[in-house]
Structure 1
Amino acid sequence: MTDDLPVRMIDGRVVTKPGVGPVAMVWLPVDGQVIAKIPPRKGNRRWLHETVGIRSPEFNGDRWNLPRSSLVRLITAAVDRYGFIVLYRDMSRLSKCTRACLEATGVECHCSCLGAHHGQDAASWFKRAGNAVVADRGEWTRTAVVYGARGSDANATVYDGQLAGERYRVDREGRRNWPTAADFMCASCATVRASVWDHCHTHGFVRAPLCNRCNTRYWLGWRPRHGRTTHSRNLDESYYRWCPKHIDTRRRCSA
């Protein structure tokens, strides 16, 4: 049920449950560039350039202007980084929903289904976690869709380096043979199922599958004023060893 989601839309507003950090928000207009508002953090430009693969991300006030071609990569990377992302999408009422919509591999849609069926037959690294219509402008409608990590129906197992030595990728081709993070238990707290792939920002290698809580614990600190609960006592940082250069450099890899 959508009421159980950590991030959901209520009356057009983004509402997060206690303990959930800030999420990224992206607006896809009918035409023009993607507008992204991501939580302010040191290294955002580097993340957009090196991880998402945007050559020259443009910062304007409190948001980023990004090419439309980067949208799927941005959502994939943001889900791994924040756990969830909200996509506001302007869609035309006039175009007809076709089989091409159902088999689409991206998230851009301008058909009459307003995105309800777009890409539902396609395999991807994120899933629709909830949606709501937030504005009606006659010829077009704006919807807000929450995307989160894709789950798994298999029993979670202990991660044993299945992606050891792999470079972190957010493009479809690069993740073709990757298992889903949710196939494993969180490599840090070992108490819940993982949901995202963590990677070393210093060297660019996949480290291990983590739950959302463990994946975000370093960024704002586990302090009540930040709206986050205390992390598990089972916290284990040994998953850093899955970066092949972590031991060689004798220094801490970046979170």
Structure 2
Amino acid sequence: MLISPQLARDILADLTRDCGLPLDAGELIPKKGDFLDHGYVFIGDVAVRGYKDKGRWKYDDRDIRRAGQALAAVRVDHTDVVEAQVPSRRYFDDRESFGNWDQADWRRSLNYWIYAAARRSRHRDIADAYDDFDSDVWSSRYQLGAHGLPGQLTREELISSHGERTVAGTRPFELLTWSGTHWVLPRAYADMLDRSQKRDRALAEQARICTGCQQHGDRYAWRTPTASGYVTLCPACSGKTFQPYKGHLQGLAYSSLRRLHRADEYLCCLCRASRASIWDHCHEHGYVRGPVCASCNTFEGKGVAFLRRGGSVQHLLECQGCREGDTLPRRFHVDVVLAHLEGTERHGRCRHRPHAYRSEYVHGVHRITLYCHAHASTSKWTKEVTVAEAADLVRVLVKSALAGASAS
């Protein structure tokens, strides 16, 4: 029987009431993207599959009970311990580890949290934090002290800042103990985390294989949302499975379209590689732009980065109201200004492209701050752009995009 995450959490908490491990059953409450990797949540070393049912994630109660029984059976002997391998620079200095950064690795997670807590302990204000980015993070300030932690970090500070962090539904820092020479964990617990890590990696590897042609892809690249959860389809198999969108619904109101057509019958009209999940539409004029996947829909909110993506402006102009008015939705106007200033403004004779960001809007004027990374001492300056000037820049961009589309 499929049950809600809240009920699954309560059942697991009841089954593990006498468990010797510090648990956090709240990990069963899914967050955005939790099931994207392989479709499972790990509770201990048991993989619990997530099922999409009527637009909501649920669990099979048998999987929850199996996970709870497995955790309840773990016997933690605090005298039988193994070295936790933290803190260790190896997980950061080893360049090979960066190539596998997407793999489950509980030791690397612990190391990352420990050094993050050390940086937070060292730098309490924003100015110091920015200075730290330009310094050597492995300087003497982060050498291990007599207490076994980097810098001036204490165990109390570590627990305060990262004690609620979880691995496989457990809180590892509560079991971490200082032996006087190194940090240790109960052997039974470390072994359980090793089994969980191995199974997590195996599931992630399997999820990269296209279910249509068995070709192996990159992490997330071919994961496609469906009504029952994620599936893995390469662009070629997606193209065979889902219809390409040809703009044949241009000019239809979104309010009427969603009752007549399903977006997930089409390929995403932006990336043309994944199955679409929603109908993208203009919130100002109410017209449909086309079917898009969840990833592209999220990327549309990235402002300047989205506008620089090939075909993005043409996609926004699938709205009939925007095309007729030679404009874009107002939320993109400042982004157009930022992109324009980054392309035309320079710090004196510097050839480097500056970074522009909106700092304030006062009485019809956008005050834009520009920052040049090549000049540390005099790196910032401002430009003022009126609403009318911003509209003119948008109009120029739109006409250029429409002319380019006509020429092709």
* Alignment TM-score, normalising by the size of structure 2: 0.24
- Which one scores higher on RCO, CA 8 angstroms, separation ≥ 6? 1
The structure with the greater share of residues assigned to strand is 1
The structure with the greater share of residues assigned to helix is 2
